[in-house]
């Protein structure tokens, strides 16, 4: 991975995304792809996450976020590129 370029995006998922294990399953998916970043619920009922890693892995997790876990309903997903931070690990923020 050291020789591959890195990509970082921030996503915001709107819909039925809280109370359906969206954060936990997003963290599982991101970790399985070797991504760094975080995921958190927001006060407006959406879920926000940042993913950093190889472009292919970031694309894969963003596509997963378009539908989320089994009981989620993602009505919209905003995706914005960000500057690389060098963040290590993936955490669920509370």
Tens digits of pLDDT across the chain (94 residues): 457 799 999 999 999 999 999 999 999 999 999 999 999 999 999 999 999 999 999 999 999 999 999 999 999 999 999 999 999 999 999 9
- Residue 59: inside a domain: yes
d(CA 94, CA 85): 21
Is the residue at 36 inside a domain? yes
Q: Looking at the domain assignment, is residue 3 inside a domain?
A: no
| pLDDT recorded at residue 1 | 46
Domain that holds residue 56: 17-86
Please give the biggest Cα pair distance in the chain: 39
63 domain residue, yes or no: yes
Residue 10 domain-assigned (yes or no): no
Q: Give a yes or no: residue 64 inside a domain.
A: yes
Examine residue 94 and state whether it is found in any structural domain, yes or no. Answer: no
Predicted confidence at residue 51, as pLDDT, reads 98
Q: Which residues are catalytic?
A: 23, 41
How many structural domains comprise the chain? 1
Distance CA 69, CA 49 (A): 15
Whether residue 71 lies inside any domain: the answer is: yes
């Amino acid at each position: 991975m050291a020789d591959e370029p890195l990509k970082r995006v921030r996503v915001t998922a709107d819909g039925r995304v809280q109370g359906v294990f969206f954060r936990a399953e997003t963290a599982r998916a991101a970790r399985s792809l070797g991504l760094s970043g975080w995921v958190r619920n927001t006060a407006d009922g959406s879920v926000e996450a940042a993913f950093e890693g190889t472009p292919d892995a970031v694309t894969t997790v963003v596509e997963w976020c378009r539908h989320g876990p089994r009981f989620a309903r993602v009505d919209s997903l905003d995706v914005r590129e960000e500057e690389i931070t060098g963040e290590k690990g993936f955490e669920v923020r509370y």
